[in-house]
């Protein structure tokens, strides 16, 4: 057995202790019920765009705490269908939904797209989340002392609400909705798949929000924002780790029951392979497959992107 084979074997056997609180599932059931009580108050506005073979809409809907979430809703013109399969797209940390043409590969497949901004980051969506304690740079430490005020709760609910909006659209086949995301977007794809029954298939490229306690200590990702806060306020360390446990896919992975494709780079220092495999190994074998890039860092290769297209073609078309 060479070193690479040994690495593969070790990762496939990797297991991390669960960090779930006793009220984890009660918390999420209550959170989802509370979200349903708030109207989406959505608007869908036709936009003149240079994409000749797609219909482009600008969408706004109310997310957690009534923050207006901005998104693109794109419908392919060909092939003509009564209802289309659709992918819901989540971007990486500090990113944005981008421009409509960035989703042309899905439209060419005959798949509709709903791409949203994650609140407060690089897009057009703001952030109404109340702040009662100081934060370090970025967004991750906002409200992190309490699961009910945590930024991770807000963005998760925002994404679940996107699914709620999608299933109401007459152009979309509610039985053929997939989610795709990378890094932060991959983590959000995973948690939405675990918590929602509206997802038919999921691609989680190099996902974050996995084995988060390990990530806080070892990763070079957004989780590094937590360290400086705890350096100043070490008495809050256990409180912060407890909050993170409610949004850690390590504790929710077993809820995934639909087809899932995951990718991982073994040289990734942002979303470390140990964090991803800790989650992947807890998902039932019949629901999952993984793409391993031994020499890749925090990136999605062209080959893995293509495998994702094939995966969605198999499960949505």
Catalytic entry in 117, 158, 183, 213: 183
Please say whether the beta carbons of 300 and 263 come within 8 A.
yes
Residue written as token pair 């439209």? 107
| Catalytic residue status for 268 | yes
Catalytic entry in 117, 158, 213, 268: 268
C-alpha distances out from residue 130 to 133, 165, 190, Å: 9, 24, 26
Collapse the DSSP code of 3 into the 3-class scheme (helix H, G, I; strand E, B; otherwise coil) and give the result: helix
Please say whether the beta carbons of 166 and 86 come within 8 A.
yes
Please say whether the beta carbons of 89 and 98 come within 8 A.
no
What is the pairing mode between strands 68-76 and 201-205?
Answer: unpaired
In whole angstroms, give the CA distance from residue 284 to residue 280.
9
Tell whether residue 152 is among the known ligand binding residues.
Answer: no
Collapse the DSSP code of 51 into the 3-class scheme (helix H, G, I; strand E, B; otherwise coil) and give the result: coil
In whole angstroms, give the CA distance from residue 121 to residue 108.
29
| Catalytic residue status for 183 | yes
Please say whether the beta carbons of 316 and 178 come within 8 A.
yes
Give the helix/strand (H/E) hosting 87: strand 84-90
| Catalytic residue status for 53 | no
Residue written as token pair 């070193």? 3
262 phi/psi in degrees, rounded to 5 = -120, 145
Q: Give every CB contact of residue 243 below 8 A, 6+ residues apart in sequence.
A: 144, 145, 146, 147, 150, 152
Please say whether the beta carbons of 226 and 143 come within 8 A.
no
**Which residues are documented as binding site for substrate?**
93
Positions marked catalytic: 183, 268, 298
Binding-site positions: 93
């Amino acid at each position: 057995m060479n070193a690479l084979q040994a690495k593969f074997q070790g990762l496939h056997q990797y297991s991390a202790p669960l960090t779930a609180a006793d009220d984890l599932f009660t918390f999420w059931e209550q959170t989802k019920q509370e979200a349903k009580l708030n109207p989406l108050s959505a608007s869908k506005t036709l936009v003149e765009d240079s994409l000749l073979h797609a219909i482009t809409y600008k969408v706004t809907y109310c997310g957690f705490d009534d923050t207006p979430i901005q998104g693109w809703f794109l419908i392919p013109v060909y092939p003509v269908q009564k209802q289309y399969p659709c992918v819901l797209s989540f971007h990486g940390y500090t990113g944005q939904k981008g421009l409509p043409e960035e989703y042309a590969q899905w439209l060419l497949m005959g798949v509709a797209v709903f791409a949203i901004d994650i609140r407060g980051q690089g897009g057009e969506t703001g952030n109404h989340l109340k702040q009662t304690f100081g934060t370090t740079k970025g967004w991750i430490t906002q409200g992190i002392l309490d699961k009910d005020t945590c930024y991770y709760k807000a963005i998760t609910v925002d994404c679940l609400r996107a699914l709620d909006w999608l299933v109401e659209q007459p152009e979309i086949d509610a039985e053929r909705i997939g989610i795709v995301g990378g890094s932060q977007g991959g983590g959000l794809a995973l948690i939405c798949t675990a918590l929602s029954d509206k997802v038919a298939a999921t691609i989680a490229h190099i996902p974050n929000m996995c084995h988060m306690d390990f990530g806080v200590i070892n990763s070079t990702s957004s989780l590094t924002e937590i360290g400086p806060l705890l350096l100043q306020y070490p008495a809050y360390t256990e409180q912060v780790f407890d909050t993170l446990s409610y949004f850690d896919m390590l504790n929710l992975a077993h809820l995934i029951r639909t087809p899932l494709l995951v990718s991982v780079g073994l040289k990734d220092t942002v979303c470390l392979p140990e964090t991803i495999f800790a989650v992947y190994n807890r998902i039932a074998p019949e629901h999952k497959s993984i793409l391993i890039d031994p020499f890749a860092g925090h990136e999605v290769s062209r080959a893995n992107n293509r495998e994702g297209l094939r995966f969605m073609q198999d499960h949505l078309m």
